[in-house]
Amino acid sequence: MTYTNLELASMGKVPLADELLGSWEIVPNPHSTSQAERSAALVDLGFGKRFSDHMAHATWTAERGWHDFRIEPYEAIAMSPAGAVLHYGQEVFEGLKAYRHADGSIWTFRPTYNAARLNHSSRRLAIPEFEHEAFIGSIVNLVRQDAAWVPDAPGSSLYLRPFIFASEAFLGVRASHRYEYMVVASPSGAYFANGFQPIDVWVEREFHRAGTGGMGDAKTGGNYASSLLPKTVAHDAGYDEVMFLDATMGTDIDELGGMNVFVVMSDGSIRTPRLTGNILAGCTRSSILQLLRDEGRDVREETLPIADVLAGIDSGAVTEMFACGTAAVVTSIGSLSSRDFHVDLPGHETTKAIYDHLTGIQLGTVEDTHGWLYRLA
Torsion of CA 39, 45, 50, 51, to 10 degrees: 70
Considering only 28-36, 289-297, 324-332, 347-355, which stretch makes contact with ligand COI by CB under 6 A?
A: 324-332
Is 327 a residue that touches ligand COI (CB under 6 A)?
Answer: yes
Give the nearer residue to ligand COI in terms of CB position, either 90 or 284. 284
Is 95 a residue that touches ligand COI (CB under 6 A)?
Answer: yes
Minimum Å gap between C-beta 26 and ligand COI is 26
Instruction: List C-alpha distances in Å: 87 to 83, 170, 182, 209, 210.
Output: 7, 9, 19, 20, 20
Considering only 70-78, 172-180, 239-247, 321-329, which stretch makes contact with ligand COI by CB under 6 A?
A: 321-329
Minimum Å gap between C-beta 171 and ligand COI is 29
- Would you give the end-to-end CA distance of the chain in angstroms? 33
Give the nearer residue to ligand COI in terms of CB position, either 145 or 326. 326
Instruction: List C-alpha distances in Å: 97 to 4, 118, 307, 336, 357.
Output: 22, 15, 35, 29, 17
- The full length of the chain comes to 377
Which of 83, 151, 162, 258 lies at the binding interface for ligand COI (CB under 6 A)? 258
Which of 167, 318, 325, 373 lies at the binding interface for ligand COI (CB under 6 A)? 325
Q: Which of residues 150-209 bind ligand COI (CB under 6 A)?
A: none
Residues 46-85 vs ligand COI: string with x where CB under 6 A? ----------------------------------------
* Cβ–Cβ under 8 Å, residues 281 and 325: no
Instruction: List C-alpha distances in Å: 36 to 45, 147, 150, 306.
Output: 16, 15, 15, 50
What residue is closest to ligand COI based on CB?
Answer: 95
Site size for ligand COI, by CB under 6 A?
5
Is 312 a residue that touches ligand COI (CB under 6 A)?
Answer: no
